[in-house]
């Protein structure tokens, strides 16, 4: 089939899954991959109503298709769509990578544990999505367990995250008593125990919002309660608005169980209905580049090192914003003006690591990088230079002093530090007076990776001294008096030589602000 560029772009849905660790991000990702490709092709989904797959099934598919659920970008075909799922590592290894990944997607799926509600990492990631104004879809997970009351969860979501919520479906019971989903959006009831109800998976609802006909489930008080709850939601809840979803002001909420697969396909079907196609991107010159514009443009949002010391290569992840990628094509890197050929260097990170044949707006491609790229770089094909707006920077929260163990190896130490810092996952500061190196990161893991790579890639063994968490605040150079520095607010310079204070804690920051009321301090995001 000869698809036009516009058709191809329309079929793309690129999103990230965000959650607090253990909420079920990996499990739901597996399910989406299963629904999306592998299992469907093998024709096994139908026979397994519970949607529960043995681990070995999954591993076999992983082998066959070469999909790794641990890869950073996964691609599945579903219902005529090409879905690109970007992983955002949760855990305390929270990095700028994670945040920047959110710059490369058009929507986000937020997974919440029904027993726990909104947790800290969810809140942090949510804030970044909100800042971008992208649509956020909520999946309240683990309904096969006894969790918190759905009404409470919705109220908490709205209150803590300051977003309106619209339940697309409503659980009928929970845990062992989960009878199914009252599916408001599809006007039906989806059953967990179809065998008790004439072997139907779905029962349609009549105009009174009740199941028509004589089914066992109708006698249950759980069912009656759900009908009442939904009535209340309809009267007192938010109104459904596609525009509000698109603007990221209203989150559609889905209940389900990633582990048993219950409600996942219902979610996925609605998701592809409402998730946006690849959006236009704005350049620094304030021009808008439409995804269907003919010439290739894209930006690098992440650089990942190969942790295998035998391979020194790195992969630069490009979000394509317009045009069509073809192997062997030439592009320019705007920052350096360098022309490079995207020949045998390109691969998708998921899907069997094959050569990419074609990729359009919304797609992510991985380029082998031998030092040409930096995070935030724009690549373009046309005659006219393009630079997309700068990616946001995030204020590091954890700091480490770093010194070379072997003074004879100063040179490789400095080279390694400079190069690794360029990748953007870690920030470098120097103390204002003594020029000691201090590293700043959003998460602890970044330091460990840094230390490992310095040793294995640059043969530089380092001493790392934790300084704990600090609050970094930048000061305008004209306001600066170097005597303002103290042990509680250490004066440093950042990589661009801008002065920055590292405050010991909130108290130290407030003390400083009281003492110098006319000095303006700024944080990054």
Residues annotated within the binding site for GTP are 19-26, 87-91, 141-144
- Alpha-carbon distances, residue 455 vs 122, 305, 404, 487 (angstroms): 34, 14, 10, 30
Closest approach of Cβ 51 to ligand GDP, in Å?
A: 11
Residue 283 makes contact with ligand GDP by CB under 6 A: no
Binding residues, by number, are 19-26, 87-91, 141-144
> Measured between alpha carbons, how far is 274 from 456 in angstroms, rounded to an integer?
46
Q: Which stretch binds ligand GDP (CB under 6 A): 17-25, 177-185, 225-233, 440-448?
A: 17-25
Residue 22 makes contact with ligand GDP by CB under 6 A: yes
Give the CB-side neighbour count of residue 393, counting CA atoms within 13 A. 18
Residue 23 makes contact with ligand GDP by CB under 6 A: yes
Among 13, 15, 18, 24, binds ligand GDP (CB under 6 A): 24
Contacts of 33 (CB under 8 A, 6+ apart): 67, 69, 74, 76, 85
- Alpha-carbon distances, residue 270 vs 138, 168, 218 (angstroms): 12, 9, 26
**3-class secondary-structure state, position 379:** strand
Phi/psi of residue 246, nearest 5 degrees: -60, -35
Contact flags string 140-159 toward ligand GDP, x per CB under 6 A: -xx-xx--------------
Q: Is the dihedral of CA 287, 290, 295, 296 positive or negative?
A: positive
Residues 191-220 that bind ligand GDP (CB under 6 A): none
Residue (113 or 377) nearer to ligand GDP, CB: 113
Among 11, 14, 27, 489, binds ligand GDP (CB under 6 A): 27
Closest approach of Cβ 255 to ligand GDP, in Å?
A: 10
Pick from 385, 382, 460, 446: nearest CA to 417: 460
Terminal Cα distance for the chain, rounded: 45
Closest approach of Cβ 192 to ligand GDP, in Å?
A: 12
Residue (36 or 90) nearer to ligand GDP, CB: 90
Residue 258 makes contact with ligand GDP by CB under 6 A: yes
Residue 439 makes contact with ligand GDP by CB under 6 A: no
CA 484 to chain centre: 39
Residue 115 makes contact with ligand GDP by CB under 6 A: no
Residue 90 makes contact with ligand GDP by CB under 6 A: yes
Under the phi-then-psi rule, with left for phi > 0, alpha for psi from -120 to 50, and beta for the rest, what region is 521?
beta
Residue 443 makes contact with ligand GDP by CB under 6 A: no
Residues that bind ligand GDP (CB under 6 A): 19, 21-27, 90, 141-142, 144-145, 257-259
């Amino acid at each position: 089939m000869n698809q036009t560029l516009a058709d191809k772009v329309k079929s793309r849905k690129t999103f990230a899954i965000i959650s607090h660790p253990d909420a079920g991000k990996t499990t739901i990702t597996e399910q989406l991959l299963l629904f999306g490709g592998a299992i469907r092709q093998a024709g096994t989904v139908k026979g397994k109503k519970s949607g529960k797959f043995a681990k070995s099934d999954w591993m076999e598919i992983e082998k066959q298709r070469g999909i790794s659920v641990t890869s950073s970008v996964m691609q599945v075909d579903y219902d005529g769509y090409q879905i690109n799922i970007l992983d955002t590592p949760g855990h305390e290894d929270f990095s700028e990578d994670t945040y920047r990944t959110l710059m490369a997607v058009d929507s986000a799926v937020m997974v919440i544990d029904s027993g726990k509600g909104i947790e800290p990492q969810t809140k942090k990631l949510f804030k970044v999505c909100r800042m971008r104004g992208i649509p956020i879809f909520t999946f309240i997970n683990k309904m096969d367990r006894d969790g918190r009351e759905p009404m409470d969860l919705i109220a908490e979501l709205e209150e803590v995250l300051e977003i309106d919520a619209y339940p697309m479906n409503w659980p009928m019971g929970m845990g062992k008593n989960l009878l199914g989903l009252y599916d408001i959006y599809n006007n039906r009831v989806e059953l967990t125990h179809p065998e008790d109800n004439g072997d139907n998976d779905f029962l349609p609802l009549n105009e009174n919002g009740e199941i028509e006909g004589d089914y066992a489930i109708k006698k249950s008080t759980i069912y009656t309660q759900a009908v009442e709850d939904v009535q209340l939601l309809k009267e007192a809840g938010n109104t459904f608005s596609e525009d509000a979803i698109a603007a990221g002001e209203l989150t559609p909420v889905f209940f389900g169980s990633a582990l048993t697969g219950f409600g996942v396909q219902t979610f996925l079907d609605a998701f592809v209905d409402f998730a946006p196609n690849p959006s236009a991107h704005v350049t620094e010159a304030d021009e808008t580049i439409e995804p269907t514009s003919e010439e290739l443009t894209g930006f690098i949002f992440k650089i990942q090192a190969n942790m295998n010391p035998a391979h020194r290569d790195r992969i630069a992840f490009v979000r394509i914003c317009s045009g069509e990628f073809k192997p062997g094509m030439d592009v320019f890197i705007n920052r350096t003006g360098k022309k490079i050929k995207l020949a045998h260097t390109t691969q998708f990170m998921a899907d069997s690591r094959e050569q990419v044949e074609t990729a359009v707006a919304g797609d992510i491609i991985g380029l082998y990088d031998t030092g040409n790229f930096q995070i935030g770089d724009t690549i373009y094909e046309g005659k006219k230079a393009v630079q997309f707006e700068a990616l946001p920077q995030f204020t590091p929260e954890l700091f480490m002093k770093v010194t070379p163990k072997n003074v004879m190896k100063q040179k490789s130490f400095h080279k390694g530090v400079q190069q690794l810092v360029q990748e953007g996952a870690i920030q470098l500061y120097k103390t204002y007076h003594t020029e000691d190196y201090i590293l700043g990161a959003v998460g602890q893991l970044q330091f460990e990776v840094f230390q490992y790579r310095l040793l294995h890639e640059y043969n530089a063994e380092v001493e790392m001294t934790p300084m704990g968490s600090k609050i970094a605040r930048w000061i305008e150079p004209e306001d600066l008096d170097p005597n303002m520095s103290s042990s509680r607010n250490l004066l440093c310079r950042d990589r661009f030589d801008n002065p920055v204070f590292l405050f010991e804690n909130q108290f130290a920051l407030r003390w400083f602000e009281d003492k110098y009321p006319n000095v303006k301090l700024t944080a990054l995001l």
